[in-house]
């Protein structure tokens, strides 16, 4: 049974209403420490490792743990999966607060975790620091917010993995999306993108990088999971207040770019 620690007392998560649950800290969700070691999500993480193996990446094994959002820490080959995916009760809260649950289905989860593994690949082998990478994808040093961008929905210069034409958000995201397509064993990218010259060039380049670095040990060793939710003392209420505020800001910012303010909010 999944329990939450409140005022020193362990309470079954299923018996807590939203008001009380929001007063809890992430570190009070003690079961987060174990949930990725078994069950449905463990199987999906193993599927990622299998996909990486099949793509030729025998040395890349990102550590995966629960954090406060989908995230791959800069310079660390690890992936944080949002805490709410650990339990149906937390997914229900996420849906109530944010109106959707990112990564809820196995297919969606795999698209996201393959994307984050693309960032891990870059962290492990530092490919974005090369001149060739910048020529293909653009300047990785550009400042950006991943929720504020104006995509061209008809462009064939970018692959399509996550919703919202996310590859267009930033060169780093373009690379991670391209990587996600490559390591998806069912993507059939050579056929699907053969008439999209710019996207195909990116895919071919990433495929070459995988062949080059696939059996090499990453430059960086994994570090302690500082971004693990079990270390975070912020309350769920504070976390959601911050996220809701950020979403409203992004919606307003995008509305200044287009007459359709929901076009690029994913």
Would you state the pLDDT for residue 97? 97
Phi-psi region of 262 (alpha: psi -120 to 50; beta: other; left: phi over 0): alpha
Q: Which CB contacts under 8 angstroms, 24+ apart, belong to 45-54?
A: 45/113, 47/110, 48/110, 48/113, 48/114, 48/117, 51/110, 51/114, 51/183, 51/184, 51/185, 52/117, 52/183, 54/183, 54/185
The residues pairing with 10 across neighbouring beta strands, listed in sequence order, are 5
pLDDT band at 75 (very low <50, low <70, confident <90, very high): confident
The closest alpha carbon to 35, from 87, 77, 70, 78, belongs to 87
pLDDT in tens, 20-50: 999 999 999 988 877 777 778 999 999 999 9
Chain segment 119-152, per-residue pLDDT in tens: 999 999 999 999 999 999 999 998 888 888 889 9
The pTM score is 0.92
Instruction: Please say whether the beta carbons of 28 and 230 come within 8 A.
Output: no
Instruction: Report the run of H or E that residue 231 belongs to, with start and end.
Output: none
pLDDT at 263 over 80: no
CB 29 within 8 A of CB 83: yes
Q: Which residues pair with 78 in a beta bridge?
A: 63
CA distance linking residue 89 with residue 24, whole number of Å: 14
Residues facing residue 67 across a β-bridge: 82
Under the banding of pLDDT at 50, 70 and 90, the label for residue 12 is confident
CA distance 239 to 257: 27
DSSP annotation string for 49-86? HHHHHHHT-SS---EEEEESSSB--TT--EEEEEGGGG
Structure confidence by residue, pLDDT tens digits, 184-234: 999 999 999 999 999 999 999 999 999 999 999 987 766 667 789 999 999
Question: How many Cα atoms sit within 13 Å of 82 on the Cβ side?
Answer: 20
- What integer pLDDT is reported at residue 11 of this predicted model? 85
Q: Provide, rounded to the nearest whole percent, the portion of the chain with pLDDT above 70.
A: 94
Q: How far apart are CA 152 and CA 247, in angstroms?
A: 21
Domains in the chain: boundaries:
3-255
Nearest 5°: phi and psi at 187? -75, -30
Are the C-beta atoms of 121 and 60 separated by less than 8 Å? Answer: yes
């Amino acid at each position: 049974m999944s329990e939450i620690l409140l005022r020193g007392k362990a309470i079954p998560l299923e018996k807590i209403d939203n008001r009380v649950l929001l007063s809890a800290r992430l570190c009070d969700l003690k079961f987060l420490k174990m949930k990725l070691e078994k069950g449905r999500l463990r199987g999906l993480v193993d599927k990622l490792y299998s996909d990486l193996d099949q793509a030729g990446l025998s040395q890349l094994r990102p550590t995966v743990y629960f954090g406060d959002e989908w995230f791959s820490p800069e310079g660390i080959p690890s992936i944080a999966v949002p805490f709410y995916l650990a339990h149906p009760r937390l997914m229900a809260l996420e849906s109530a607060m944010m109106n959707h649950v990112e990564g809820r289905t196995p297919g969606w989860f795999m698209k996201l975790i393959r994307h984050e593994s693309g960032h891990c690949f870059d962290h492990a082998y530092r490919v974005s620091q090369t001149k060739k990478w910048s020529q293909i994808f653009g300047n990785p040093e550009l400042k950006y917010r991943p929720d504020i961008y104006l995509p061209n929905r008809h462009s064939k210069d970018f692959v399509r993995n996550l919703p919202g034409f996310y590859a267009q958000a930033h060169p780093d995201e373009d690379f991670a999306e391209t990587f996600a397509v490559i390591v998806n064993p069912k993507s059939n990218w050579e056929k699907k993108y053969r008439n999209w010259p710019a996207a195909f060039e990116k895919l071919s380049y990433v495929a070459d990088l995988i062949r080059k670095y696939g059996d090499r040990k990453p430059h960086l060793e994994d570090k302690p999971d500082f971004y693990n939710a079990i270390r975070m003392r912020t309350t769920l209420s504070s976390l959601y207040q911050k996220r809701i505020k950020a979403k409203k800001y992004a919606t307003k910012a995008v509305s200044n770019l287009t007459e359709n303010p929901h076009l690029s909010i994913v």
